[in-house]
Chain A
Amino acid sequence: MASIDIKDVRKAYGSVKILHGVDLTIQDGEFVVLVGPSGCGKSTLLRMIAGLEDISAGEIKIGGKRVNELDPKDRDIAMVFQSYALYPHMTVAGNMSYSLRLRKTAKEKIASAISGAAEKLSLTPLMERRPKALSGGQRQRVAMGRAIVRSPKAFLFDEPLSNLDARLREHMRGEIKKLHQDLGATSIYVTHDQIEAMTLADRIVAMNAGIVQQVGSPLDLYDRPANLFVAGFMGSPAMNMFEGTYRATDGAPRVELGQGVTVALAGPASTADGARVTLGIRPEHVVVGKNEPESIPAQIDLVEPTGFGTILHANAFGSDVKAFSLERGLAARGDTVSVSFPVERIHLFDTTTGSRIG
């Protein structure tokens, strides 16, 4: 186990810049999730840590030792691929023991290592099968087994659950979390799925277009997104965003949303009067139906029951306002209701720069 230091790491393919300077320190034993939309450079960063891609600029240290020039095999890391990349001509046992055999580990040691891993992942009855004869979930577990037999300094996961169906994905998510709690190994996990990121991570690194947008605990990112990207990316259904004008005259900071609707803010924002701002509020924080002084009249366009709760789409001040409620039968299509945004739940962003201002 070891810490990982990433210092101003950049990647370019020819003239195309993919990563624009990533700085990140991962503590020993920490589970860090890199999350972001497809093509933002997560895999590239992970593969650079693994040694599968050259580092165009910057420095990566594993356990305090610079690894830029080291081959993958000398970095003592293990990686789980999205496609699992199991060796099709070897049995499960062969796949799991391959790295140990290459290292000329003693036979008894190999046997105990793979039987231990097989036990942890309930692979024991499958050890003599070939990958072809396994289901997706079993293959996934073999890929994990192959990674853990070596007790490497760090685990790297590149969207390991993307090829599984929803049920199995949920199950394996739990398994991975348990495994990490068991082994306590430093792990970097790449995913585009914000639920995976939220549930697994000690710390989330949100990335977009080759730039780290925010680093923090899952609830940090959820409760105080640093910019519009993170606010929109984390959470499902996604956060409501309304553009408006910031007003701070007469000591009452507020946002004008158009059609005469004004929303009061808890405190002054770090911007000037009259600035273009974006007001964000999560659907589960929108209050529907209570006639409070601040409430806004709205008409229900669409009702989406999820079983777990209900998503209401309401039309207010010319915008679509989503509200999520655990209550059923709160409103029906065509109803006129009132919605309100509790001040302590409001996020405020600068529309042009996208950064959080209150």
Chain B
Amino acid sequence: MTEAVNAAPYGRDRRPFLRRLASASEPYLYSAPALILIVTVMLVPLVIGISYAFRDITLLDPFSGGFIGLDHFRALAKDKTFWQALKNTVYWTGYSVALQFCLGLILALLLDKPFRGRGLAQALCFLPWAVPSFLSGLNWAMLFNPIVGPIPHWLFGLGLMDAPDNLLSSPDHAMWGPIIANVWWGIPFFAITLLAALQSIPRDLYEAAAIDGATPFQRFRSITLPFLAPTIAITVMLRTVWIANFADLIVVMTNGGPADRTQIVASYIFTTAFRRLDFGYASAIAMVLLALLLVYSMLIVLLRQTLLRER
């Protein structure tokens, strides 16, 4: 870099051409490995993937591969399963994020107070995060299974169910199975990030508020919440995008069934691509999902900016 700085900006550079070339290309050479890596592993697959949406790509059809314009999108607009999946996605994402957030916040608030054995409690609470999602899906599927799992019997015992049936095969409530598994699995994410944000709030603010006469709830509202708001905005956004795209638990626990009642867009993409092997159509669905999530993220980023400016 010093070479580049030394290259005299005034008058003609008298160094040999090769030296000048070398110093001019120096910054590019330094950043080349990272750039090449990013382009090959991120941009190339992205562009190829997007191009699939406009082509007819079916794995088992040797004559496919032609450019078909917006045909996939026209088909998509009339695809009942897709619209159902979109609704299911909102339901699945909305409840999962809301419950994960509320329970994660409560957990973070509890872990923020000093008590004996807090270190151990923290470690235990963060454990679900370390369980592979696939494994936790299988586990919860077993728990919901009346033959091997206890949950249907408990629900029956509590009078919440007419008979100890499998929740996952009930057309009206099957979605709650993966949602519950997802909530259990995702609480630590919110607990960890919110706890970190909580611990950065100066303690004397709470003391000043206590002297000013604020009840614990008023302190939470006028100090904790404004401090947490930017973190909440960014974590909720990340989680929403992540969960909307997160098909593992659904594929493992219900595989979209019964009768597509738990099919979300992401699992529909998965089914279309890897079961029906229609990569073109799957890619078109994925693009719609991408566009929706981009719009959503933009809104949240704007919200966060206004919140941060408030500080």
**Chain A: residues with CB nearer than 8 A to chain B?**
50-52, 71-73, 77-79, 81, 83, 85-90, 98-99, 102-103, 130, 132, 146
Q: How far is the CA of A232 from the CA of B49 in the complex (A)?
A: 79
B211: which A residues are within 8 A, CB to CB?
Answer: 50-52, 72-73, 77-79, 99
The B interface, classified by DSSP as helix, strand, loop or mixed, is helix
Q: How far is the CA of A32 from the CA of B227 in the complex (A)?
A: 36
Give the residue among A77, A79, A89 with the most B Cβ atoms within 10 A: A89
A14 vs chain B, min Cβ distance (A): 12
A141 vs chain B, min Cβ distance (A): 15
When the two chains form their complex, are residues A87 and B222 in contact, meaning their CB atoms are under 8 A apart?
A: yes
The size of the chain B interface, using a CB distance under 8 A, is: 18
When the two chains form their complex, are residues B204 and A132 in contact, meaning their CB atoms are under 8 A apart?
A: no
23 A-B pairs (CB sep. < 8 Å) = A50-B211, A72-B207, A72-B211, A73-B214, A77-B211, A81-B204, A83-B202, A83-B204, A85-B207, A85-B208, A86-B208, A87-B205, A88-B227, A88-B311, A89-B222, A90-B222, A98-B209, A98-B212, A98-B214, A99-B212, A102-B214, A132-B311, A146-B208
A42 vs chain B, min Cβ distance (A): 16
Task: Verify if B310 is at the interface (C-beta below 8 Å from A).
Answer: yes
Task: Verify if B66 is at the interface (C-beta below 8 Å from A).
Answer: no
Task: Verify if B146 is at the interface (C-beta below 8 Å from A).
Answer: no
Given A81-B204, A102-B218, A132-B311: A87 and B223 within 8 A (CB)?
yes
Closest to B207 in A: A52
Q: How far is the CA of A34 from the CA of B310 in the complex (A)?
A: 38
When the two chains form their complex, are residues A73 and B212 in contact, meaning their CB atoms are under 8 A apart?
A: yes
B309 vs chain A, min Cβ distance (A): 10
Tell me which residues from 193 to 250 in chain B have a Cβ below 8 Å from any Cβ of chain A. Answer: 202, 204-205, 207-214, 218, 222-223, 226-227
A73: which B residues are within 8 A, CB to CB?
Answer: 210-214
When the two chains form their complex, are residues A89 and B213 in contact, meaning their CB atoms are under 8 A apart?
A: no
Knowing that A81-B208, A87-B208, A102-B214 are A-B contacts, what are 12 other residue pairs whose CB atoms are under 8 Å apart, sorted by A's residue number? A52-B207, A71-B210, A72-B207, A73-B212, A77-B211, A78-B211, A83-B204, A86-B208, A87-B209, A90-B222, A98-B222, A103-B213
When the two chains form their complex, are residues B311 and A102 in contact, meaning their CB atoms are under 8 A apart?
A: no
A90: which B residues are within 8 A, CB to CB?
Answer: 222
B206 vs chain A, min Cβ distance (A): 9
When the two chains form their complex, are residues A85 and B213 in contact, meaning their CB atoms are under 8 A apart?
A: no
When the two chains form their complex, are residues B210 and A72 in contact, meaning their CB atoms are under 8 A apart?
A: yes
Q: How far is the CA of A88 from the CA of B218 in the complex (A)?
A: 15
Closest to B210 in A: A72
A87: which B residues are within 8 A, CB to CB?
Answer: 205, 208-209, 222-223
Q: How far is the CA of A317 from the CA of B209 in the complex (A)?
A: 58
Tell me which residues from 280 to 295 in chain B have a Cβ below 8 Å from any Cβ of chain A. Answer: none
Q: How far is the CA of A132 from the CA of B309 in the complex (A)?
A: 11
B204: which A residues are within 8 A, CB to CB?
Answer: 81, 83, 85
Q: How far is the CA of A130 from the CA of B310 in the complex (A)?
A: 9
Q: How far is the CA of A51 from the CA of B310 in the complex (A)?
A: 31
Closest to B213 in A: A73
